[in-house]
A and B are shown apart, each in its own frame.
Chain A
Amino acid sequence: MSDVLSMNQIQLIINDRKIINNLSINVRQNNAVTIMGPNGAGKTTLLKIALGLVQPTSGELYLFGKKGIDKERRKLLGYIPQNLGLVNELSVFSNVIIGALGEIPRWRSILGMYPKDILDEVYSLLYELKISHLKDIKVKKLSGGEKQRVAIARTLIQKPSVIFADEMIASLDFKAAASVMEIFTEIRKKKGITLLMTHHNPEITKMYSDTVFIMINGRIDKKIESKEINKETISSLYEA
């Protein structure tokens, strides 16, 4: 299997501070990769560099085997940011359709005249994620777990090849997080999507990741198989 994402010797220096320090990472197709590390390690910045939202000071980035990020390849990237980036005042339906804006002609999206095939996809995703009944509810009225599902649906409708999920399950207890990850993983595997996520939960990592990268002070400290992860490994990491 080929690498969907490859970063070599990436550096990001802001005000003489090395936010990302000679970081190199490879992510293989269809893999579920978790990046773990203490707060301030640079996990969110790493995702933003991979998405082209932040320009590194130096280093090379390869996406689907080609150098750099262009508009066409960016379309294949899905992003679930910290706090999910949902629009609280819009309904679940509108939040999900946002993910398809790149595929809808501009004037049709402004007038709210969405193509039938996109509407069918929205309804089918809402059904798969078990949130069809919430379609017309404003996002601000949903629970944490329901919001995660809306964010996942918004990302999946983009038909991404890779999803970057930043602290997606941070606000959930273990049961709710596992329930969201269970559905997400099932759909992800069915659609052959690569997942790169950050969070702090070792149990979730063990259950839903293939590979774990430990990140400290802006660089990858080590790469381990998720089955090797245990509470002790993680607590020593956060105490370091």
Chain B
Amino acid sequence: MKPSRFQYVWIVLLLIIIGSSVHLGFNPLSIIGDAQNSSTIIQELLAFDFSVMDKVVFSIIETLEMALIGSSIGFMLSIPAALLAARNVSPFYISAIFRGILGILWSMPPLLWAIILVVIVGLGPTAGIFSIAFFIMGLSGKYLYEIFESQNLAAYDTMHVIGATRMQIAKFVTIPEALPYMSNQYLFLLSYSVRESSILGLVGAGGIGFYIIHHLESLNYGKAAPFILAILVVTLGMDYISTKLRKRLVYN
């Protein structure tokens, strides 16, 4: 039986995966081969050293603050940017410019932004806050302009007949209609930013990641463990709270 076009696609994809693994020298069994090494590290990680708890509390608060400030700034900026990028609200040339800006902001992950921003604003949480803000602005802006563009056309037609301006359309139709999605999205982005903020310290942009990399590089796995545990607890907690709140928003 001749394979279908769909089956050909899967065969080609499988060949590309195998080819890439060979190219990179990737061996999935290596994780089993290094089992002894892994179990030593796990044992050392499980020997929690709680003498660093004051730093754990300080750094987790810093991480949460970075996520809150960064995601809030990014989200607030994403609203006007998305309005300017939406084709049903803005003229074509303005929307093209803002789509480009949001695309650039979104395509660079926060860690890459942090590497650049540490050079510009120096080590510490300020670089981390900007990294989160830029990325969230891009991500949220892209999502928002797609929501704006998929809105109820009849309301826009009515506004055109009335002779409303673009600003009036944005205030009375575009933003109110998107409000439930926007609140939902903000909560999701906040929880996502906590996760992202926890690794920015790896490059010196503030937050709990700095202590993790410091203790791991000094081979003090027992001291790194409470920080890793704190990230797990906080991110799972944020996820739980954000999901609960978003469900409430949907039902209201």
> Is A82 engaged at the interface, CB distance under 8 Å to the other chain?
yes
Contact B154 A87 (CB under 8 A): no
Contact B162 A99 (CB under 8 A): yes
Residues of A contacting B152 with CB < 8 Å? 83, 85
- With A94-B172, A101-B172, A110-B168: A84-B154 Cβ-Cβ less than 8 Å: yes
Interface centre among B152, B161, B165, B167 (most CB of A within 10 A): B161
Stretch in B30-38, B114-122, B174-182 touching the partner: B174-182
Residues of chain A lying within 8 A (CB to CB) of residue B165? 106
- Known A84-B154, A87-B176, A89-B180: A158·B162 in contact at CB below 8 Å: yes
Are A86 and B161 neighbours in the complex by a CB distance under 8 Å? no
Query: What A residues does B179 contact at CB under 8 A?
Result: 89
- State the total of A-B contacts with C-beta under 8 angstroms: 69
- Majority DSSP secondary structure for residues of B touching A: helix
Cβ-defined partner of B154 (8 Å) among A78, A83, A98, A109: A83
Among the stretches A21-29, A69-77, A125-133, A178-186, the one at the interface with B is A69-77
Interface string of A78-107 (1 = CB under 8 A from B): 110111111111100010001101100010
Q: Does A1 contact B (CB under 8 A)?
A: no
Q: Is A51 an interface residue (CB 8 A)?
A: yes
List 9 tightest A-B contacts by C-beta distance, closest first.
A85-B154, A81-B154, A85-B158, A102-B163, A89-B176, A79-B161, A85-B155, A101-B164, A90-B176
Query: What is the interface of chain B, defined by CB distance below 8 A to chain A?
Result: 152, 154-165, 167-168, 171-173, 176-177, 179-180
Q: Which residues of A contact B (CB under 8 A)?
A: 48, 51-53, 71, 74-75, 77-79, 81-90, 94, 98-99, 101-102, 106, 109-110, 154, 158
